[in-house]
A and B are shown apart, each in its own frame.
Chain A
Amino acid sequence: MGSNTAILQSNNLAIGYGDKVIYSDLNISFEKGEVVCLLGQNGVGKSTLLKTLSGLIEPISGEILINNISFKSLSKSELAKVFSIVTTDKLSAVGLTVLDILMAGRYPHQPWLNSPREEDFKSIQLAVEQTNIKYLLEKKLHELSDGQRQKVMIARALVQDGQLIFLDEPTAHLDLTNRVEILKLLRDISINSNKSLVISTHELNLAMQFADKLLLMDFGSPIMTGTPEDLALSGDLSKIFHHQGFDYDLITGKVNQVENPQGTIKIEADESLKFWIKNAVDRLGYKSKDSLKIIATTSKNNCNWKVIMGSNSYKGVTIDELIKLLKSIQ
């Protein structure tokens, strides 16, 4: 990694609160235009890393370089011109309009006491168009829905006009429609504006579809870095998601629930029947240690099944009966 192209780079960084070190020896670099996702469970230290990198928490040791200049030698207002943040704070108690908030986003660029200039209006105009929030401009922040508010805060971060935006859990608290919309917006920003985005998230799907680079964070192990694909193929991704009770499906890229680490269920049936039996078994969450085999056939729209478990075997019709049997086995 060429240190001359990185916007942000850390050297032997140790992060944490007070004396408690969460991660140490971090050597991370963010390149121009790159989308980086910090991926891990809640409480693993994503926010701490994000806050340390964005200067909200002091690092325990090590240094951070911004465009090859030490973080510490830069003033707060110089830093504010390089990066901006979108936090998880809900900010409902603010009686400011969306326009007021966007104007406040120009703070690092405005000379003292000056009224906004041409370039301030232009920058706000651009961010408003990018995030499509023109219709919200004169609304109060507390009148907005969660999704709208998130868009406004992203627009605010854009207005600050840095090279890098830190986003802490940008899709948390959002419903599915809003989540998709925010993701699409972030992708458009990364493609069209050549800004780097550093996003903390616990949503694997988001990270996989989206990130140029992943920082995988897990309790008690060092942070792993790489492209999502490399991390998936090397098995690092499934390692993290496996012990959470999930399994990362290498073929479909989906996370599956694994609640049956010992016992397996083998289903022998034609394709559609197999699908529905599997559906029922997955829903049931089979928890027994014993492996079993289900052989099923259809006749006259009925399901005839046979369950073989060790030396025992059971027979029956309909999935309903099958479920009852599986429940009794557990």
Chain B
Amino acid sequence: MIEDIWKHHQKAWRRIVLAASLGVLFLAILDLSIGSVYIPAIEILKALFGSSNNEVWQSIVIEFRLPKTLSAISVGIALSLSGLIMQTLFRNPLAGPFVLGISSGASLGVAVLVMGSIWLPLAVSGISTVVAACLGSSMVLLVVLSMANRLKDTTSLLILGLMFGSAVGAFVSILQYFSNPEEVQGYLFWTFGSLSGVSWSELQILLPIILVGLIVTIAISSSLNILNLGDDYAISSGVNLKRMRYLIIGITSLLAGVTTAFCGPIAFIGIAVPHITRLIINSSNHKHLTILVALIGAGVMLICDIISQLPGFAQSLPINAVTSIFGAPLIIWLIMRRRKMVAF
């Protein structure tokens, strides 16, 4: 009887995963075909398999659009997953890499790297940006976590994240003040967020890290379920709480840090996608959530990228503006119905 119920749920979940995967595939192809030139879907598929007759299209798809689509998918997965595990770690529905100032921490790391050449003559490269961003994000996360253990309520935690954000912003302003115009411009462009700036060689760093993050999150999904029940139940069920906390901090800073390093601080995906997913499957069982959060994260990011192309226009919008325009109202809506939100 128990087994039957379980199998029934499992089957329903598999159907949703299948549907979500097909959705992501469809959006990816759509994302690849839209841009300054429209390329039909069938040509996209041909180009992907290297059999396109149109050499220009072939090179547009492989050299420009595929890296951008892959980074959209990666960023979507990374930010959504880090949002999910942070909401579980903090037991707080409004936690997320951006809200808690983790992305600001990563920005600070990058700002110091890009504009701090007066004090730290560092080489700006893919790897050093990643390291700077990850250092910045893990530093902020550690501070927030140590404080969050003392204040249990949502509001204080959010205010804390806000304060971190503005403190970091102020520090970045000081850096900008003392930097030369080129450096400031470089940093500003980075903050707009961009998926198209990621090259194939940078994807070789980004993709494996996202994959590791995804695998680890799936591997700890049963522990995350127990973490949801509270510290006492987690410890007495045999979860090594300390190790789990550090693991979650590690993955979150890595995922949020690495995406922020390459694509700039992208807001709201981390907090919004776990909620959208929970609404869809009406459950917060991490064994079911994790993969779906990754898929829906990828899908949402692809949609944002498609919107940012402004189909029909020659221009495109900064990706950060798009995620904020859609993300902010969602968060406002979440806060408005927070009193009813028992199942986060």
Query: A: which residues have CB within 8 A of B?
Result: 51, 54-56, 75-81, 83-85, 87, 89, 91-97, 99-101, 103-105, 107-108, 110, 112-113, 116, 121, 124-125, 128, 134, 137-138, 140, 142, 160
Q: A75, A96, A116: which contacts B283 (Cβ < 8 A)? A: A96
Contact with A along B257-300 (1 / 0, CB 8 A): 00000000000000000000010001111000000000000000
> Is B168 close to A, CB under 8 A?
no
Query: B: which residues have CB within 8 A of A?
Result: 1-3, 5-6, 9, 91, 218-219, 222-223, 225-226, 228-230, 232-233, 235-240, 278, 282-285, 342-344
CB <8 Å contact, B1 and A125: yes
Residues of chain A with a CB closer than 8 A to B239's CB: 76, 107
Residues of chain A with a CB closer than 8 A to B283's CB: 95-97, 100
Residues of chain A with a CB closer than 8 A to B344's CB: 93, 95
Q: A79, A83, A96, A138: which contacts B284 (Cβ < 8 A)? A: A96
CB <8 Å contact, A87 and B343: no
**Contact A104-B226, Cβ < 8 Å, known A56-B236, A125-B1:** yes
CB <8 Å contact, A110 and B222: yes
Q: Which of A92, A104, A116 has the most CB of B within 10 A?
A: A104
Q: A84, A113, A116: which contacts B236 (Cβ < 8 A)? A: A84
Residues of chain A with a CB closer than 8 A to B9's CB: 99
Q: What are some 12 contacts across the A-B interface (CB < 8 A)?
A: A80-B236, A93-B342, A93-B344, A95-B278, A95-B284, A96-B284, A104-B237, A107-B222, A108-B238, A113-B219, A121-B6, A142-B343
Residues of chain A with a CB closer than 8 A to B236's CB: 54-56, 79-80, 83-85
Residues of chain B with a CB closer than 8 A to A105's CB: 237
CB <8 Å contact, A104 and B6: no
Looking across the interface, which residue of chain A has its beta carbon closest to that of B91? A93
Residues of chain A with a CB closer than 8 A to B282's CB: 95
- Give bound CA distance, A87 to B237, whole Å: 13
Q: How far is the CB of A156 from chain B (nearest CB, A)?
A: 8
CB <8 Å contact, B226 and A94: no
CB <8 Å contact, A87 and B278: no
CB <8 Å contact, B222 and A138: no
Q: How far is the CB of B65 from chain A (nearest CB, A)?
A: 36
Residues of chain A with a CB closer than 8 A to B222's CB: 104, 107, 110
- Give bound CA distance, A101 to B230, whole Å: 12
CB <8 Å contact, A79 and B238: yes
Q: How far is the CB of A20 from chain B (nearest CB, A)?
A: 19
CB <8 Å contact, A107 and B342: no
**Contact A93-B343, Cβ < 8 Å, known A76-B238, A101-B229, A104-B237:** yes
**Contact A142-B238, Cβ < 8 Å, known A99-B6, A104-B226:** no
CB <8 Å contact, B342 and A56: no
- Give bound CA distance, A93 to B342, whole Å: 5
Q: Which of B9, B91, B236, B237 has the most CB of A within 10 A?
A: B236
Nearest first, the 5 A-B pairs at minimum CB distance are A95-B343, A80-B238, A95-B284, A77-B238, A142-B342
Residues of chain A with a CB closer than 8 A to B285's CB: 96-97, 100
CB <8 Å contact, A91 and B229: yes
CB <8 Å contact, B235 and A55: yes
Q: How far is the CB of A292 from chain B (nearest CB, A)?
A: 53
- Give bound CA distance, A140 to B344, whole Å: 12
User: Given known contacts A104-B237, A137-B2, what 14 new A-B pairs fall within 8 Å (CB)?
Assistant: A75-B238, A76-B239, A77-B238, A78-B238, A93-B342, A94-B229, A95-B278, A96-B228, A97-B283, A108-B237, A112-B219, A121-B3, A121-B6, A140-B343
CB <8 Å contact, B232 and A94: no
- Give bound CA distance, A105 to B238, whole Å: 10
- Give bound CA distance, A97 to B91, whole Å: 17
CB <8 Å contact, B2 and A99: yes
Residues of chain A with a CB closer than 8 A to B233's CB: 85, 87, 89
Looking across the interface, which residue of chain B has its beta carbon closest to that of A123? B2
- Give bound CA distance, A81 to B238, whole Å: 8
Looking across the interface, which residue of chain A has its beta carbon closest to that of B235? A56
CB <8 Å contact, B237 and A80: yes
Q: How far is the CB of B61 from chain A (nearest CB, A)?
A: 37
**Contact A89-B230, Cβ < 8 Å, known A95-B283, A95-B344, A140-B343:** yes
CB <8 Å contact, A56 and B219: no
Q: Which of B2, B239, B343, B344 has the most CB of A within 10 A?
A: B2
Residues of chain A with a CB closer than 8 A to B225's CB: 96, 100, 103-104
Q: How far is the CB of A86 from chain B (nearest CB, A)?
A: 9
Q: How far is the CB of B149 from chain A (nearest CB, A)?
A: 15
Q: How far is the CB of A74 from chain B (nearest CB, A)?
A: 10
Residues of chain B with a CB closer than 8 A to A91's CB: 229-230
**Contact A107-B6, Cβ < 8 Å, known A93-B343, A93-B344, A97-B285:** no
Q: Which of A94, A137, A140 has the most CB of B within 10 A?
A: A94
CB <8 Å contact, B219 and A87: no
- Give bound CA distance, A91 to B344, whole Å: 12
CB <8 Å contact, A94 and B228: yes
CB <8 Å contact, B219 and A92: no
CB <8 Å contact, B284 and A94: yes
Residues of chain B with a CB closer than 8 A to A125's CB: 1-2
CB <8 Å contact, A160 and B229: no
Looking across the interface, which residue of chain A has its beta carbon closest to that of B223? A107
Residues of chain B with a CB closer than 8 A to A96's CB: 225, 228, 283-285
Looking across the interface, which residue of chain B has its beta carbon closest to that of A90? B230
Q: Which of B218, B230, B282 has the most CB of A within 10 A?
A: B230
- Give bound CA distance, A94 to B225, whole Å: 9
Residues of chain B with a CB closer than 8 A to A76's CB: 235, 238-240
Residues of chain B with a CB closer than 8 A to A87's CB: 230, 232-233
CB <8 Å contact, A56 and B238: no
Q: How far is the CB of A251 from chain B (nearest CB, A)?
A: 41
Q: A78, A80, A85, A116: which contacts B6 (Cβ < 8 A)? A: A116
**Contact A128-B2, Cβ < 8 Å, known A55-B235, A89-B232:** yes
